[in-house]
Structure 1
């Protein structure tokens, strides 16, 4: 059962989260084939990485939910 958390947000069911993860992977793959640098936010040296595109999953059932794309610039520009 998907119950609301203290902020009134209802998490997506696991099957929807998996669908979003698969879609995010396809988006990263397509954008990488287009020549964009795809950054993994889980990599340990993200503060010193050269930058690139990140994907973020919003796993809540609301109007803002879905996949968010973030561009991280080179550390010299941060």
Structure 2
């Protein structure tokens, strides 16, 4: 009997870190994100998935899920065996997915990620993310940590003064 082989712990950690980077970049761009573990029937947005398989299909994938209502309208047409080209909900659902995949490709590429079409019939309208952004452009920079005119993280005299902007009642 053949079993499902998973990647080793180091590769699994790399994939999870990459998935986290991808989620962060999509949220930084303002896109809604389906939280890991959230049932897709409850929301729409960017869906980032890690396939832990130790085969060619393993890796980090991104896809766009339209709203549950739009998906249901399109699925209803399929269940009723209506020709998809004649159903506005199906055409619109497909158009939204294609447009959002293009947008997510542009966002992730601009952020420094390497993405490709997975060429996988089981993952239509998906992206495979091969590499992450490195340092995020939105990450906190050193010069943002201590701005001129603000109190240092630790008061120099060891007092319990409020920390923060330095605009307060004084010492």
TM-score when normalising by structure 2: 0.38
Match in the other structure for 2:14: 19
Q: CA deviation at 1:62?
A: 1.5
Aligned position for 2:66:
73
Deviation at 1:41, TM superposition (A): 4.4
Q: Quote the offset at 1:17 in angstroms.
A: 0.4
**Higher radius of gyration, 1 or 2:** 2
Alignment of 1:54 onto 2:47: yes
Which structure has the highest helix share of the two? 2
**Structure 1 runs (4+) greater than 4 angstroms displaced:** none
**Over the residues paired in the alignment, what is the CA RMSD in angstroms?**
1.9
Map Cα deviations across residues 28-69 of structure 1 (whole Å, 9 max, x no partner). Answer: 00111111111114136x4232x0011111111212211011
Number of aligned positions between the proteins: 71
Q: Give the Å deviation of 1:22.
A: 0.5
Specify every segment of 5 or more residues in structure 2 that has no aligned partner in the other structure, as ranges. Answer: 72-171
Residues 3-41 of structure 1 deviation map (CA, whole Å, 9 limit, x = unaligned):
xx725x431001110110011000100111111111114
Higher RCO, Cα 8 Å, sep 6+? 1
- Residue 6 of structure 1 corresponds to 2
Question: Which ranges in structure 1 are unaligned for 5 or more consecutive residues?
Answer: none
- Matched residues in 2 for 1:41 and 1:28: separation? 10
TM-score (norm 1): 0.76
